[in-house]
């Protein structure tokens, strides 16, 4: 009984014909290679022909690190938010509109701008890690964590100041 899953319709493949000038069963080292079977005749589970050339990038491979511009800007905006919170506390009272303006700008700077910049940093850093040779920088990681912590403190300081203003302006 023949195998219905065999590549050549269940029939055993014939031995290759000997080339002229060779002994029986041997192939001449100068003979042309046997033709490869067409892709349709390889059968199930056979690997496709993948002799395609692979293009390598020109020049030497260089290592990259994470982007500095987003994490640096995030650190600056986090510190700015604390400065705005302190300016509101030192420069006015909780019943003045200047208090609310400085606290609102400080909260927006820390809560919105800083964390968006940190998110953009993570996105760009992940793309660089996936693109090729990547070397992490401990200073950049430290700056990221510092911006994250200072931004959280800035959000808390300014949120408390906004709550104090609303409590004094509209409280009984």
Task: Provide the β-strand partners of residue 64.
Answer: 134
Q: Which residues contact 20 (CB under 8 A, 6 or more apart)?
A: none
Q: How far apart are the first and last CA of the chain?
A: 98
pLDDT in tens, 40-65: 555 566 565 566 666 656 667 788 88
pLDDT in tens, 3-42: 666 665 555 555 555 555 555 556 666 766 666 655 555 5
pLDDT in tens, 129-138: 998 888 889 9
pLDDT in tens, 76-108: 999 999 999 999 999 888 888 999 999 999 999
Domain extents in the chain: 68-170
Model pLDDT, residue 105: 97
Residues of the chain with pLDDT > 70, as a percent, come to 65
Q: Is 3 helix (H, G, I), strand (E, B) or coil?
A: coil
What Å distances lie between residue 61 and 14, 43, 46, 138, CA to CA?
A: 50, 40, 35, 22
- Residue 150's closest CA among 85, 70, 69, 68? 85
């Amino acid at each position: 009984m023949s195998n219905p899953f065999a590549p050549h319709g269940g029939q055993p493949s014939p031995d290759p014909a000997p080339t002229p000038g060779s002994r029986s069963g041997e192939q001449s080292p100068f003979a042309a290679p046997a033709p490869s079977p067409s892709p349709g005749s390889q059968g199930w589970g056979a690997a496709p022909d993948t002799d395609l050339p692979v293009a390598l990038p020109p020049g030497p491979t260089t290592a990259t690190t994470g982007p500095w511009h987003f994490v640096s800007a995030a650190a600056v905006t986090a510190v700015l938010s604390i400065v705005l919170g302190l300016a509101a506390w030192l420069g006015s009272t909780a019943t003045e509109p200047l208090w609310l303006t400085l606290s609102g700008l400080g909260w927006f700077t820390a809560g919105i701008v800083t964390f968006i910049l940190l998110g953009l940093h993570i996105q760009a850093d992940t793309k660089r890690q996936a693109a090729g040779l990547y070397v992490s920088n401990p200073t950049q990681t430290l700056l990221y964590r510092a911006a994250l912590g200072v931004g959280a403190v800035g959000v808390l300081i300014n949120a408390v100041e906004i709550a104090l203003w609303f409590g004094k302006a509209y409280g009984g």
